[in-house]
Amino acid sequence: MKNLFFRYVYQYRYTALIFAAFIAIFASVFLLYDLKADAVLYAGGLCAALGIAVIAIHFLRFRSRSKEREILLKNILIMTEELPEPQTVAEEDYLRIIEKLRAANNAALTKYSLERTESVDFYTTWVHQIKTPISVMRMILKSEDTEQNRELLSELFRIEQYTEMVLCYFRLDENASDFVFGRYELDGIIKTAIRKFAPQFIQKRIRLDFRPTGMTVLTDEKWLGFIIEQLISNAVKYTDSGSVTITAENGILRISDTGIGIAEEDLPRIFEKGFTGYNGRADKKSTGLGLYLCKKAADKLSHRIAAESSAGNGSTFSLDLRTKELEVE
């Protein structure tokens, strides 16, 4: 209230200065003509009482309109059509400016939405089309088991991962229509991801320690699978020897490795878009998108993802899959 009153006084400061000037003029005239003090005080008292009444009523209206604007500001996204009626010429001008800006913003949003849809459609088509030559190349390389072919298959697998990542990048920014929630066996999702990376484990001679969880989780099978695949991919990528361990306890899935780990100063930023950290820059293989997409997908699924690591001592990524009991239709 106090702050609002000072705002009121500041807004009408010029009016107050004019009235103060009028009072000074009348006081000077009364003094020059040596009028009786009683008459002057009586007239001044009446003017003061009337002025206080008018100011009080005007301030109450000012406060009421201020509250209306505060409510509008807090709910601006759902009340854009309910702007207060203008009371002054200046407010009418501001209202016209707002309406023009709103029309321009709506036009820009419509244009962006169309361009975004076209981009998603293009990249979706591109990903599906690129899978055909990738499959053909895989069949050709598998026809002969040589060291060179195994290396090429490994690189081809990375290409396939990156193309899938492009599609996931666009789909995560779309509406929730791509999510299908249900209760799924966690072990089945994990085993599907492990089979996908089996050649990588064999090629790098990394031991896999997977302990069946026996858990059933409320999630989206495809997107949870995507998160697990990305975490396993990072574990394999940054582990030259040793093992990758996958366990679950009390609703929390953990994927640990014995790799190069993450520098302490990089750990708070690993889920930021485009952030690669020291190891990513040194390795030249990191895009800075994998963990960012994991975090974004986890947030969409209401899962919580976290990491523990130190340079040279491996990393452990935790995915909290616990949810409140909900009825699934």
Closest CA to 153 of 208, 190, 197: 197
For residues 73 and 186, state if they share a domain. no
> What is the pLDDT, as a whole number, of residue 107?
92
> First and final CA of the chain: distance in angstroms?
50
Q: Which of 49, 84, 119 is the last residue of a domain?
A: 84
For residues 80 and 187, state if they share a domain. no
Closest CA to 309 of 267, 255, 251: 267
- Tell me, yes or no, whether 326 lies in a domain: no
Note down the domain range covering 313.
180-320
Write down the pTM of the prediction: 0.66
- Tell me, yes or no, whether 127 lies in a domain: no
- Tell me, yes or no, whether 287 lies in a domain: yes
For residues 297 and 188, state if they share a domain. yes
Q: Which of 64, 84, 104 is the last residue of a domain?
A: 84
- Tell me, yes or no, whether 154 lies in a domain: no
Q: Which of 35, 61, 84 is the last residue of a domain?
A: 84
Here the CATH number for the domain that contains residue 202 is 3.30.565.10
Residue 247 CB contacts under 8 Å (≥ 6 apart), including other chains: 211, 213, 253, 254, 256
> What is the pLDDT, as a whole number, of residue 279?
59
> What is the pLDDT, as a whole number, of residue 113?
84
The count of structural domains within the chain is 2
User: Can you list the alpha helix ranges (DSSP code H) found in the chain?
Assistant: 2-11, 13-32, 37-74, 89-142, 147-171, 186-204, 221-237, 277-283, 290-301
Q: Which residues on adjacent β-strands are paired with residue 257?
A: 244
> What is the pLDDT, as a whole number, of residue 131?
83
CA within 13 Å, CB half, 38: 0
> What is the pLDDT, as a whole number, of residue 123?
81
- Tell me, yes or no, whether 328 lies in a domain: no
What gap in Å lies between CA 208 and CA 206, rounded to an integer? 6
- Tell me, yes or no, whether 273 lies in a domain: yes
Q: Residues 257, 261, 262, 263: what is their CA dihedral angle, to the nearest 10 degrees?
A: 160
Residue 243 and residue 210 in contact, taking contact as beta carbons nearer than 8 Å: no
For residues 184 and 316, state if they share a domain. yes
- Tell me, yes or no, whether 104 lies in a domain: no
Residue 183 CB contacts under 8 Å (≥ 6 apart), including other chains: 216, 217, 218, 328
> What is the pLDDT, as a whole number, of residue 252?
92
- Tell me, yes or no, whether 134 lies in a domain: no
Q: What is the mean pLDDT of each run of 10 residues along the chain (329 residues)?
A: 78 84 80 71 79 86 81 71 74 83 89 85 84 87 85 86 83 70 92 90 90 90 93 90 91 92 87 74 64 91 91 90 64
> What is the pLDDT, as a whole number, of residue 254?
94
For residues 78 and 188, state if they share a domain. no
For residues 80 and 208, state if they share a domain. no
Hey, CA dihedral for 181, 185, 188, 190, is it positive or negative? Answer: positive
